[in-house]
Amino acid sequence: MNEKVKAVGTVLLMVAACACVIARFPSVSAQESALAAAGFILPTGAVRAWEQGPETSVYTSSDLPVPASSASSAASSAVSSSSAPASSAASQPSGQGSTQQLPDKDLGNHIFETDISNTGEEQDGIRVKNANKNHTLDVTSVLKEKPPLKIKTDGTPMVLIYHTHTTEAYADVTRTRDASKSVVAVGDAITKSLQAAGIGVVHDATIHDDPAFNGSYTRSAETMAKNLSKYPSIQVTLDIHRDTMTTESGTRYKPTVLVNGKRACQIMIISGCDDDGSLGFPNWEQNLRLAVHLQKGAADMFPHLMRPLDFGPTRYNEQVTCGSLLCEFGTEVNTLEEATYSGSLFGQVLAQQLKTLAQGQ
C-alpha cells in the first residue's frame, strides 16, 4: 500500500471517530464534509495531504508536551527533553521589547496552552524539523545564500498575501466567511506592518474553501496567477493559514508566547522540498532561503515567536515563485487577538528582511 493510500485511510478512520464535526458543514457534500471534519482533528497538514499528497507533518503527539492530567509517566518522560522551560525571559536586540516563554497550562475544555518553539533540531540559533528522506538541511550554509528577490521600498507591490483556506478562524468560531474574524484579519495585520515600512503589498481575501473545501489549492493558484499578472513586480507570496493541533485523546494545543507583555500565537513557516523529484518543484531551494532568513530574523527579533521551520516533501503552490511560503498562525483555540498580534510582529520581521535585501542589491 503506498503512502498516499495510507494517509487517506488514516483520515477516513479519524473522521469516522469524529462524525459529529460534520454537522458544522451542512451545506457541503459528504466528501467535503469529511475533509472539513478532518481539519478539526488532525495534526498539521493532514487535510492538505488529501488534496496534494501523503501526510508530511513533522508534528505528532509525541513531539508535544502532555497535560499532567492525561499523561502517563512514560509519555511525560518521552516529551520532557523537548518541552519548553516553565518560564524564561529571552534576550533581544535593543529596541525590540521583551519576549517570554509561558508555562504550560491546562485551560480546561481539553485546551492546553504551551510553548513549542524549543522542539525540533537547533541549528545556528533557529529550530527546524526536516521530514525529507533524501535532503538534509544545513541552516548555516543556507543563511549564506541570499533569496533571489529584487526588492523595492517605494511602495511598489512586492508581497502578495492570500489565503487558500480563507474561512479558517479562531477561538469559538473555527470557520467563518467574516473577514474580520478569520485569517484574513491576520493578513491585514501583516499588510499594515509591511506598508508602515514602505513595502508594497497586495492582500487578496478571495474565499477559496467555501462552499467547496476540496480543490482550494487549485482555486488559490488561480488567484495567485491573476495577481502576479496584474502586479508583475511581486516577489514574495504568502499563503496565510490557521493550524489545528489536536491529539487522538482530544487535547487541543494552543501554542502561545508572551511578547512585550501581550500574548501572541506561535507561527510556523512551511517550506516545501521536491524530495524525490516528483513534485515539479524546481525552485524549492530558493524558497527555502527566504524561509530560513525569516526564521532567523524572527529568532533575533522575537525569540520563541516561531515554531520550528517545517521542511518537508510538500509543494502547496510554492512552485509559483522563488519567494513563496505557507505560514500557519496559531491554532483554532488561539484567540483572534493573539493571531493578529502575531501577524503584526511577523510583518515587522518580513519588512526587516526585505529591506536588508534591498540594501544589499
Q: What is the pLDDT of residues 36-55, one digit of tens each?
A: 333 323 333 333 433 443 22
Backbone angles phi, psi at 281, to 5 degrees: -135, 70
Q: What is the pLDDT of residues 208-228, one digit of tens each?
A: 999 999 999 999 999 999 999
- How far apart CA 247 and CA 253 sit, in angstroms, is 8
H or E element in which residue 215 lies: none
Cβ neighbours of 19 (radius 10 Å) = 11
- How far apart CA 263 and CA 99 sit, in angstroms, is 10
Q: Long-range pairs for 231-235 at CB < 8 Å and ≥24 separation?
A: 231/157, 231/160, 231/202, 233/152, 233/156, 233/157, 233/158, 233/200, 234/157, 234/158, 234/159, 234/160, 234/202, 234/321, 235/149, 235/150, 235/151, 235/158, 235/159, 235/321, 235/322, 235/323
Share of the chain above pLDDT 90, in %: 70
Which CATH number among 3.40.50.1370, 3.40.630.40, 3.40.190.80, 3.40.50.720 corresponds to the domain 84-359?
A: 3.40.630.40
Cβ neighbours of 225 (radius 10 Å) = 12
Per the structure block, which three cell numbers stand in for 214?
A: 476540496
pTM comes to 0.80
Q: What is the pLDDT of residues 123-141, one digit of tens each?
A: 999 999 999 999 999 999 9
**Residue 234: which of 303, 169, 320 has the closest Cα?**
320
Residue 32 pLDDT > 60, yes or no? no
Domain ranges of the chain: 84-359
